[in-house]
Amino acid sequence: MIKRLVFFLVGAVIFLISLPISTKMVMELIHNQKMNVLYKITNVSEGFPPTESTFNFKGHMVKIKETIKDESSYMDPWSNKIVIADLSLKLDGEEIDSLQDYPIRVEEEGLNRYYGEIAYLILVDKKVDKTQFVILLKKTRELKKNCRTEI
Protein backbone atom coordinates (compact mmCIF):
# COMPACT_ATOMS: atom_id res chain seq x y z
CA MET A 1 0.00 0.00 0.00
CA ILE A 2 2.84 2.40 0.82
CA LYS A 3 4.60 1.55 -2.47
CA ARG A 4 1.48 2.50 -4.41
CA LEU A 5 1.17 5.77 -2.53
CA VAL A 6 4.86 6.60 -3.17
CA PHE A 7 4.53 5.75 -6.88
CA PHE A 8 1.35 7.82 -7.11
CA LEU A 9 2.95 10.82 -5.40
CA VAL A 10 6.13 10.61 -7.51
CA GLY A 11 4.02 10.33 -10.68
CA ALA A 12 1.84 13.27 -9.62
CA VAL A 13 4.90 15.44 -8.93
CA ILE A 14 6.48 14.55 -12.29
CA PHE A 15 3.17 15.24 -14.04
CA LEU A 16 2.82 18.64 -12.36
CA ILE A 17 6.41 19.56 -13.20
CA SER A 18 5.87 18.69 -16.87
CA LEU A 19 2.60 20.65 -17.23
CA PRO A 20 4.14 24.03 -18.20
CA ILE A 21 6.28 22.47 -20.93
CA SER A 22 3.61 20.10 -22.25
CA THR A 23 1.06 22.94 -22.39
CA LYS A 24 3.36 24.90 -24.70
CA MET A 25 3.90 21.82 -26.86
CA VAL A 26 0.15 21.23 -27.21
CA MET A 27 -0.40 24.90 -28.06
CA GLU A 28 2.29 24.67 -30.73
CA LEU A 29 0.63 21.58 -32.25
CA ILE A 30 -2.74 23.35 -32.31
CA HIS A 31 -1.20 26.44 -33.93
CA ASN A 32 0.61 24.29 -36.51
CA GLN A 33 -2.64 22.54 -37.39
CA LYS A 34 -4.43 25.89 -37.85
CA MET A 35 -1.61 27.15 -40.08
CA ASN A 36 -1.79 24.01 -42.23
CA VAL A 37 -5.53 24.53 -42.70
CA LEU A 38 -5.19 28.21 -43.66
CA TYR A 39 -1.91 28.28 -45.63
CA LYS A 40 0.26 26.20 -47.90
CA ILE A 41 3.94 27.12 -47.74
CA THR A 42 6.29 25.87 -50.46
CA ASN A 43 10.02 26.31 -50.03
CA VAL A 44 11.33 27.22 -53.48
CA SER A 45 14.90 27.07 -52.15
CA GLU A 46 14.90 23.28 -51.70
CA GLY A 47 15.60 20.50 -54.13
CA PHE A 48 18.08 19.58 -56.79
CA PRO A 49 19.38 21.21 -58.93
CA PRO A 50 19.82 24.25 -56.66
CA THR A 51 17.37 27.13 -57.14
CA GLU A 52 18.90 30.02 -59.05
CA SER A 53 19.36 33.23 -57.08
CA THR A 54 17.46 35.08 -59.82
CA PHE A 55 13.77 34.20 -59.64
CA ASN A 56 10.80 35.35 -61.72
CA PHE A 57 7.42 35.48 -59.95
CA LYS A 58 4.35 36.82 -61.77
CA GLY A 59 6.40 39.13 -63.98
CA HIS A 60 8.62 40.44 -61.17
CA MET A 61 12.32 39.67 -61.16
CA VAL A 62 13.97 38.97 -57.80
CA LYS A 63 17.76 38.91 -57.88
CA ILE A 64 20.55 38.49 -55.34
CA LYS A 65 23.71 40.41 -56.18
CA GLU A 66 26.84 39.52 -54.26
CA THR A 67 29.95 41.64 -53.91
CA ILE A 68 32.86 39.65 -52.53
CA LYS A 69 34.74 41.88 -50.10
CA ASP A 70 37.80 39.76 -49.50
CA GLU A 71 39.09 36.97 -51.72
CA SER A 72 40.61 35.12 -48.76
CA SER A 73 38.48 32.23 -47.61
CA TYR A 74 38.12 30.02 -44.58
CA MET A 75 36.51 26.69 -43.72
CA ASP A 76 33.49 26.79 -41.43
CA PRO A 77 32.89 24.04 -38.83
CA TRP A 78 30.97 22.00 -41.47
CA SER A 79 33.90 22.06 -43.95
CA ASN A 80 32.33 24.58 -46.33
CA LYS A 81 34.68 27.04 -48.03
CA ILE A 82 33.44 30.50 -47.03
CA VAL A 83 34.17 34.03 -48.22
CA ILE A 84 32.71 37.26 -46.87
CA ALA A 85 30.50 39.30 -49.19
CA ASP A 86 27.87 42.02 -49.24
CA LEU A 87 24.54 40.75 -50.56
CA SER A 88 21.92 42.96 -52.21
CA LEU A 89 18.33 41.92 -52.77
CA LYS A 90 16.86 43.53 -55.87
CA LEU A 91 13.26 43.54 -57.03
CA ASP A 92 12.83 44.55 -60.68
CA GLY A 93 16.32 46.13 -60.58
CA GLU A 94 15.66 48.24 -57.46
CA GLU A 95 17.61 47.38 -54.32
CA ILE A 96 15.18 46.70 -51.49
CA ASP A 97 17.54 45.34 -48.82
CA SER A 98 21.13 44.33 -48.22
CA LEU A 99 23.18 42.12 -45.95
CA GLN A 100 26.64 43.41 -45.06
CA ASP A 101 29.64 41.13 -44.43
CA TYR A 102 27.79 37.85 -44.81
CA PRO A 103 29.34 34.43 -45.33
CA ILE A 104 28.71 32.70 -48.63
CA ARG A 105 29.63 29.17 -49.68
CA VAL A 106 31.80 29.73 -52.74
CA GLU A 107 31.75 26.12 -53.91
CA GLU A 108 27.93 25.97 -54.07
CA GLU A 109 25.53 27.19 -56.75
CA GLY A 110 22.35 29.27 -56.70
CA LEU A 111 20.64 29.84 -53.35
CA ASN A 112 22.79 27.11 -51.80
CA ARG A 113 25.57 29.71 -51.70
CA TYR A 114 23.53 31.60 -49.08
CA TYR A 115 22.40 28.56 -47.10
CA GLY A 116 20.51 29.66 -44.01
CA GLU A 117 20.81 33.34 -44.91
CA ILE A 118 18.25 33.70 -47.73
CA ALA A 119 15.20 31.61 -48.65
CA TYR A 120 12.42 31.93 -51.21
CA LEU A 121 8.93 30.75 -50.25
CA ILE A 122 5.58 30.68 -52.02
CA LEU A 123 2.70 31.29 -49.61
CA VAL A 124 -0.81 30.30 -50.65
CA ASP A 125 -3.65 31.69 -48.52
CA LYS A 126 -6.27 28.95 -48.89
CA LYS A 127 -9.07 31.08 -47.46
CA VAL A 128 -8.91 33.86 -50.07
CA ASP A 129 -7.04 31.86 -52.75
CA LYS A 130 -4.16 34.34 -52.90
CA THR A 131 -0.55 33.46 -53.76
CA GLN A 132 2.39 35.50 -52.47
CA PHE A 133 6.13 35.29 -52.91
CA VAL A 134 8.07 35.63 -49.62
CA ILE A 135 11.79 36.29 -49.29
CA LEU A 136 13.38 35.49 -45.95
CA LEU A 137 16.58 37.35 -45.10
CA LYS A 138 18.41 36.31 -41.97
CA LYS A 139 19.80 39.39 -40.29
CA THR A 140 21.31 37.68 -37.23
CA ARG A 141 24.66 35.93 -36.84
CA GLU A 142 25.39 32.50 -35.41
CA LEU A 143 29.16 32.16 -35.85
CA LYS A 144 31.57 34.51 -34.22
CA LYS A 145 34.19 35.93 -36.58
CA ASN A 146 37.02 34.21 -34.68
CA CYS A 147 35.35 30.80 -35.09
CA ARG A 148 36.97 29.85 -38.42
CA THR A 149 39.90 28.02 -39.86
CA GLU A 150 41.98 29.89 -42.44
CA ILE A 151 43.02 28.04 -45.62
Q: Is the CB of residue 81 less than 8 Å from the CB of residue 68?
A: no
Phi, psi of 67 (to 5 degrees): -125, 105
Kindly give the confidence (pLDDT) of every residue in the chain, 151 residues in length, as a single tens digit, with 9 standing for 90 and above: 888 999 999 999 999 998 888 888 999 999 999 998 999 988 887 767 777 888 888 889 989 888 888 778 788 788 888 888 888 889 998 998 888 888 888 888 888 888 877 888 899 999 898 999 988 888 776 655 544 444 4
Query: What local confidence, expressed as pLDDT, does residue 147 receive?
Result: 46
Query: What local confidence, expressed as pLDDT, does residue 142 receive?
Result: 62
Amino acid 81 reads K
**Start-to-end C-alpha separation, the chain:** 69
CA 85 from chain centre, in angstroms, equals 19
Q: Hey, which bits of 4-145 come out as E strands?
A: 39-43, 55-57, 60-68, 74-75, 81-91, 94-105, 118-125, 130-137
Q: Is the CB of residue 127 less than 8 Å from the CB of residue 57?
A: no
Query: What local confidence, expressed as pLDDT, does residue 143 receive?
Result: 54
Q: Of 91, 90, 107, 108, whose CA–CA distance to 99 is shortest?
A: 90
Q: Counting beta carbons within 10 angstroms of the beta carbon of residue 32, is it exposed (0 to 12), middle (13 to 18) or buried (19 or more)?
A: exposed
- Give the side-chain half-sphere CA count within 13 A for 68: 10
Query: What local confidence, expressed as pLDDT, does residue 52 receive?
Result: 81
Query: What local confidence, expressed as pLDDT, does residue 146 receive?
Result: 44
